[in-house]
Amino acid sequence: SGNFRLAQSPKPFLYNFTAEANSIDPQEVITLFLKKPIPLFTTATGKLYINGIGKTFTVTGPVTVGEGSLYGERFTKGRVLLAINEKEVQLRNVFLEKGGAAFRGGIAHPAASASRMTAEGEGEISYQGDYRIAVKTSPLSLDKVDLFRSFQPAEAGPVYDAVVPVPDVLPNVSGEMTLSVEGKGSFKKPELKAIAAFENLQYKEASMDSGTVDVNWHNENVTIVSSFPKKNFSLTAKIGSNKPYPFSFKAHSASLPMHPFFPKKWLLMSGFSTLSLYAGGDISGKGNFETLQQIDLTGDLSTLSTTWGDYWLTNDGPITFSAQKGNFLIEKGSFKGINTDLTLSGRLAPL
């Protein structure tokens, strides 16, 4: 419903409408203004107010959204104050909620917890490809965050919703994460800053306790700074966003378990199902993701120990190594164990 009035020439015409949106696909509206669709899959309901004079117009209104996903992350419901004009799409008072229940065919799975997670924010997207975003979340249970589901063991049964398949449970990763994301720029040259604060982070037997990961995307480079003080772990890394995707990093840690990151099937097939491996020290490197086999590394490990059944082996002093263009050099490395006294030094070259 609304009004439409033709002004006397040469003045532009005026219009004023009210429209009801009932479970519509937001992509049908977004693609009218943006060249590339946003990976948003949901339904939207609300009353929209349309006003304009000639080519200048506004479309505003509160909109509620149903169950769906945004950039692959599922949510249960949400709301947003939508504002569209001749220059950009504005999203105000965005609120998305994700309940603890997983869904199979639209029916809540009884084994899921009832935890409630939320995200709030705002942003704009211009028709020229510029954007601004500001988002903050409540503490997110990592075993309910779809981003981490690639760590899920293959033997777990899947649960499906209308958008994306997800596993039933996620026992390998646990803990909580609070996320803050801010950024502005263009889609061709993104500018983003994200801060993730973790509590009780654990992957299988590898516990990292509490810490932060800061990600800064600036001038086509991604910088990552991570710190988990209670585990004496720190990491700095820089990654280029263009081919061949160059990277460099420096890491330091106390003794941390490495075996949880080995593929379980490989350990079983190779007879190393009881293998434990711990390492700690300093390591740095640089290379390109397109030619990882040519990575350059330098390392000075204070701890490198392993157990396999009743057998154990540990370093006897620091272990110094390096790698250049795929050639691995052990400069110093002594080990001791049950009936074992081993010293390694030399070069390993790829076949």
Q: What is the pLDDT along the chain (351 residues), one digit of tens a residue?
A: 555 555 555 667 788 889 898 999 988 877 777 777 788 899 999 999 999 888 888 999 999 999 999 888 899 999 999 999 999 999 999 999 998 544 333 344 444 444 689 999 999 999 888 999 999 999 999 888 887 765 554 434 333 333 444 444 445 788 999 999 999 998 888 899 999 999 999 888 788 899 999 999 998 899 999 999 998 999 999 999 888 999 999 999 988 888 887 777 766 666 667 778 889 999 999 999 888 878 899 999 999 898 888 888 899 989 998 988 778 888 888 889 888 888 877 776 554
Residue with tokens 């890491």: 251
Whole-number pLDDT of residue 266: 66
Element (H, E) at 328: strand 327-337
Residue with tokens 């693609």: 31
Q: Is the pTM of this model over 0.75?
A: yes
Whole-number pLDDT of residue 34: 73
Strand partners, 5: 14
Residue with tokens 């081919």: 243
Is there a contact between 292 and 244 (Cβ–Cβ < 8 Å)? no
Q: CA neighbours within 13 Å on the CB side: how many for 43? A: 8
Is there a contact between 266 and 273 (Cβ–Cβ < 8 Å)? no
Nearest Cα to 125, choosing from 164, 163, 80? 80
Nearest Cα to 138, choosing from 116, 154, 123? 116
